[in-house]
Chain A
Amino acid sequence: MAVTLNRNDGTVNFVFEGRMDTIKCMSAEKDVVENINENDQVVFDLKEVDYIASSFLRLCGRASNTVGVENFSVINVSPSVKKVFKIAGLANRLNIK
């Protein structure tokens, strides 16, 4: 898997590492899509991520659309990564911490 996944009581925590560039996101997308369903709470943990491409935004969109925006959050976001969410107009539309 391109990401580490922890599932606990309906919460699925995906821990990403390093550069989430296009190629890595393509690989991670399959892992995310196959491991969540509409009743889950989904958390993307970016503690170890210092770079995201626009494909990561698409990944967030897919997860958010599956479980609902209120059940999706992105945590441990660095300033450089948050900048990309801001450019996309998503910094205030997703639960980003």
Chain B
Amino acid sequence: MKRIKKKATFENLEEVLQFVKVGAKAFGFDKAAIADLILAVEEVLVNIISYAYTDQCKSGYMEVRYKNNNSSYSITFLDTGKKFDPTAVSEPDTSIPINQRRMGGMGIHIVRNIVDNLQYKREGGKNIFTIEKKK
């Protein structure tokens, strides 16, 4: 398993994405699969950066770990922000015309459609969210 831990800021977003990209390449994903995975990771990290620490005066960290076995690559996101379970987010109604939709809220929906598995747990004051993509 490899890990990176950074302050949860937009300035650190690209570095964390590159970290995941290196791992995905080493795992053997093709270009399209890597692009999908990076999109999913970006959406999760943007949620952490934007919302995890908004109820606190201090900023916090985002930690990303990845590991792989023969057939799948899993990425775990950890933060100490307010409790947020992405797996419990309701599916948006994509049949609604765009001018009647709430702007935003598509990130987790995109993640769900890109990866094969999602898991969440709250442990030790941390949000621990894992996504898995199979080869």
Contact = CB atoms under 8 A, between A and B. Distances in A.
Interface of A: 21-23, 50-51, 53-55, 57-58, 60-62, 64-65, 68-69, 80, 84, 87-90, 93-94
Contact of A51 (B13, B14, B35): B35
Contact of A94 (B39, B46, B98): B98
28 contacts: A21-B42, A23-B10, A23-B14, A51-B35, A51-B38, A53-B39, A53-B43, A53-B107, A54-B106, A58-B103, A58-B104, A58-B106, A60-B98, A61-B98, A61-B99, A61-B101, A64-B98, A64-B99, A65-B98, A69-B97, A69-B98, A84-B110, A87-B109, A87-B110, A87-B113, A88-B109, A90-B94, A93-B98
Contacts of B13: 22-23
Interface of B: 10, 13-14, 32, 35, 38-39, 42-43, 46, 92, 94-95, 97-99, 101, 103-104, 106-107, 109-110, 113-114
A68 B92 CA distance: 22
B106 A88 contact: yes
Q: Most B CB atoms within 10 A — which of A50, A61, A68?
A: A61
Nearest to B17: A21
A52 to B, nearest CB: 8
A61 B109 contact: no
Nearest to A50: B35
Contacts of B110: 54, 84, 87-88
